Structure 1
Amino acid sequence: MKKRILLSLIVVLIMSACSPVVQPTAVQPVEQPSITPKPGETATMAPTAEMVMSDEEEISFVDDLDRDVVIKLPINRIVVLAPSLTETLFAIGAGELEVGRTEYCDYPEEVVNLPTIGGFSANTISVEAIIALEPDLVIGGSIHQAEVVDSLEKVGIPVFVSEPEDVKETLESIELIGKITGHTEQADDVVGQMRARMDEIAEFVTAIPEEERPTVFYEVWHEPLMSASNSAFVGELIGMAGGVNIFGELEEEYPTISAEQLIELDPQFIIGPSSHGDQMTAEVIGSREGWKNLTAVKNEAIYIVDGNIVSRSSPRIVDALNFFVDTLHPEFKK
């Protein structure tokens, strides 16, 4: 079982990143073309273990709650409990199977017409609303939804949890969902496009000497001052994009740090999510005590990234990777 311990504040922040936000005028905004397929286009989670297909049209595997799962096929009605799962279904052309979503599932646009079953945390999800939708499969998005999983199992509704912790597991999750929904070819196409883009970026980054890679401070929150280590999705993406996450080696996924630590490390870039966009301006950052002399502030290298694409384990993580490499290495686009 995964050993992810998230502070309640971080859960709130991530959920904020999953909801629509009004962004302030950003310092040096970067427009990103999406390379993930549009809904309807074609382009092993494991969750944790080997997947087995049987002659009886079943798929068996171990999910992220360490449960032995058997899914009978075909699947026609799916309720999802995380925005990343909605994005994955639509990206692989299986969006028509989704009949219920969380209130945070807002991409692609047409999904907002589907009924909601509550929020993301277990205590905000209505089991009764899920049952009323008569799904033949529910896909959970967090190990902290175990209580909901237990309730659904008791009434005979098939359910499993997919909570990828890194890019590799995200690709495996997309492939698994493709097999379960009968969209194997489309899922393979999506994953293939993602791998091709990541390989292109990796080839570019490999040629950059370690000592020439720019340093980055990723600000999750300002009071208390919080960042992300390399064990967080965003930390991994910064490294893949040829950046050096200045707090990457800390043990906690989202560590609390001090202004003194930050000032001493003097990052070349400061980046934050759109959910925190009101703080990501040169005026606000520069007004903090001791921050005006930071290299990133003096060079106005302060950027806002879409909080959804860096926090959701969906095909759009490659769009987030695009953002980071184009921001840190503008020459890559030339």
Structure 2
Amino acid sequence: MCEIKPHIKIPFGYNFKTIWFFLVLAFFPFLSLQAEHIPRVVSITPNTTEIILILGGRSSLVGKSSACDYLPEIKDVPIVGNMGVPNIETVLSLNPDAVVSSLLMNPSDASVIENLGIKFYLLPTESFDEYYITVNKIGTILNKQKEAKKEIDRVKEGVRKLLLSSKSIATDKKPKVFWEIWNTPLITIGNKSFLNEFINLAGGISITSDINRNYFEIAKESVISADPDAIIAPGLPLDYGLELKKQLSWSSLKAVQDNRVYTDLDPNLLSVFGPRMLETIHIINDLLYKKGIDEKK
């Protein structure tokens, strides 16, 4: 019986195993690209948007809220509604895998989005523990678990240092702070607001830290009675301090007399519990431990 041998010529110095190895190397990147799915995510609050960016998830962000417009790196990302108020049709048109938010004005929107086959994650961030949970969850959604751990470790280390610094200041030496969200009506923070914790870490004491609320309307007489050393009012007019000097009831306040009414501050930085929070706390510390601002009298 005649034996038929295959006429396959293998180049000198190579064998079938070597050739197969190089073939796998050549085609593996293409196979990986096909297998990898980049999650499509809509974020409808500024802090969740900032978290996505800090974790390197820019390519996953397909929709944002109008409140996220201050971030230049995502100016071309479509707007899907206001902060905490998604336009369901716009969200659906972007075909996202998930919607993330730290705030939802209408709770029923979550079930509507879920019923459309889109995962919805409500991720409150009013404390550091909640922030770590939120970063961890968004890291999982984006397949960025290592980046999430790095961010959590960074913030924890920053908070540890700030806490040590704050504890080194005697309580009676810490400036009393009135944080003014708005002036008409007069809105401020309670001890459930993350801003109360920011003030503590910056070495100050909020005059409303005994109020078990996030935000609330306060009587002007309560502020006058507390006589704060500094008033922080991001977003209010630059001449707000001068206006207070003209009002008899406010003009006697230590903060007003010492020109320590601070308004020339970025609300998008100071009022967002996101990756830039350590920067915010350092800014508050700078405000509290300097003599005051120059102001024409």
2:272 aligns to what? Answer: 312
Structure 1 residues without counterparts, runs of 5 or longer: 1-72
Aligned to 2:163: 202
Deviation track 1:248-269 (CA, whole Å, cap 9, x = no partner) reads 1113322222222211211111
TM-score by length of 1: 0.71
1:303 aligns to what?
Answer: 262
Q: Does 1:213 align with 2:174?
A: yes
* Aligned counterpart for 1:136 among listed residues 97, 100, 104: 97
3-state DSSP of counterpart to 2:100: strand
- Spell out the pairing of 1:20-39 with structure 2 (5 A cutoff): none
Q: How far apart, CA to CA, are the structure 2 residues paired with 1:255 and 1:280?
A: 24
Residue 324 of structure 1: CA displacement?
1.2
CA deviation string 1:77-122 (max 9, x = no partner): 1111211111110011111100111111124312120111111243
**2:75 maps to which residue?**
112
Q: Pick one of 226, 242, 262 that aligns with 2:187.
A: 226
1:247 paired with 2:205, answer: no
Aligned counterparts of 1:315 and 1:266: Cα–Cα separation in 2? 32
Q: Deviations over 1:170-197 (max 9, x none)?
A: 1221122112211122222222222222
CA distance in 2, matches of 1:309, 1:167: 16
Structure 1 residue aligned with 2:253, among 263, 269, 294? Answer: 294
Q: 1:271-301 CA deviation, whole Å, 9 max, x = no partner?
A: 1122xx2166321121223211211111111
Which residue of structure 2 aligns with residue 26 of structure 1? Answer: none
Superposition TM-score, scaled by structure 2 size: 0.80
For the 8 Å contact 1:143–1:163, the answer to whether it is kept is: no
Q: Per the alignment, in what secondary structure is the counterpart of residue 104 of structure 1? A: helix
| Larger relative helix fraction | 2
Q: Which amino acid aligns with 1:224?
A: P
Distance 1:112 1:200 in 2: 34
Partner of residue 40, structure 2 = 77
Residue aligning to 1:33: none
Q: Which runs of 5+ in 2 are unaligned?
A: 1-35, 292-297
Separation in 1, partners of 2:63, 2:242: 42
Q: Which residue of 2 aligns with 1:159?
A: 120
Give the secondary-structure state (helix, strand or coil) at the position aligned to 2:42. Answer: strand
Q: Which residue identity lines up with residue 251 of structure 1 in the other structure?
A: N
Larger radius of gyration: 2
Tell me, yes or no, if the aligned pair for 1:100 and 1:133 is still in contact at 8 Å: yes
Residue deviations 1:111-153 (CA, integer Å, cap 9, x gap):
120111111243xx22111111111111133243422211111
- Do the aligned partners of 1:280 and 1:302 also contact (CA within 8 Å) in 2? no
Q: Structure 1 counterpart of 2:237, which letter?
A: D
2:43–2:64 contact (8 Å) kept in structure 1: yes
Tell me which residue corresponds to 1:326. Answer: 286
Matches within 5 A, 1:257-296: 257-274=218-235, 277-278=236-237, 281-296=240-255
3-state SS of the aligned residue for 1:315? coil
CA contact (8 A) 2:191 2:213 kept: no
